[in-house]
């Protein structure tokens, strides 16, 4: 028991020192004084008695009572899954909207190239490129819509 108290004491002192060193600059003078007093008390108690257990007073609080009650993990997991599915659905809907915008933009460019004053070979290459791009985007959109319907 003495060994476990000693390791607890060391861990607790290191924890308090780390918290105090990180937050002491941000605290007001009264809080700084309280932090220093706490560190001094913890150091002195650990050196004198060899145990910090006297400084820790466990009182049942609201959060301890809540944590002592059993948790229905199935319900928690279901709620988490609902949130995941909702987020996935919203993300997919935004992606579908972006794909539709890309298709419309590509279609406009395809129309512009068809009536442009470019040389015939260049125009035919660009028209073929935009036609293939449209087909690829439309195929991808159809695949996403099919998958999205399955998810919903």
Q: Work out the average pLDDT over 119-148.
A: 92
pTM for the full predicted model: 0.49
Phi, psi torsion values for 60, nearest 5 degrees? -65, 130
The domain limits of the chain are 2-56, 83-151
The reported pLDDT for the residue numbered 63 is: 62
DSSP 24: T
Rounded distance between C-alpha atoms, residue 142 and residue 140, angstroms: 5
Rounded distance between C-alpha atoms, residue 58 and residue 56, angstroms: 6
The reported pLDDT for the residue numbered 53 is: 47
Residue 135, classified by CB atoms within 10 Å of its CB into exposed (0-12), middle (13-18) or buried (19+), is exposed
Instruction: Please state, as a whole number, how many other Cβ atoms lie within 10 Å of the Cβ of residue 59.
Output: 5
């Amino acid at each position: 028991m003495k060994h476990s108290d000693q390791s607890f004491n060391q861990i607790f002192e290191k924890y308090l020192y780390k918290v105090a060193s990180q937050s002491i600059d941000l605290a007001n003078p009264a809080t700084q004084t309280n932090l220093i007093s706490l560190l001094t008390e913890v150091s002195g108690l650990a050196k004198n008695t060899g145990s910090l257990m006297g400084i820790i007073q466990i009182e049942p609080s609201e959060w301890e009572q809540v944590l002592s009650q059993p948790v229905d993990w199935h319900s928690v997991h279901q709620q988490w899954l609902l949130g995941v599915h909702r987020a996935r659905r919203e993300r997919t809907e935004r992606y579908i909207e972006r794909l539709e915008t890309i298709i419309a933009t590509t279609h406009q460019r395809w129309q512009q190239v068809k009536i442009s004053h470019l040389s015939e070979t260049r125009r035919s290459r660009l028209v073929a490129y935009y036609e293939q791009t449209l087909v690829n985007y439309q195929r991808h959109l159809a695949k996403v819509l099919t998958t999205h319907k399955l998810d919903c």
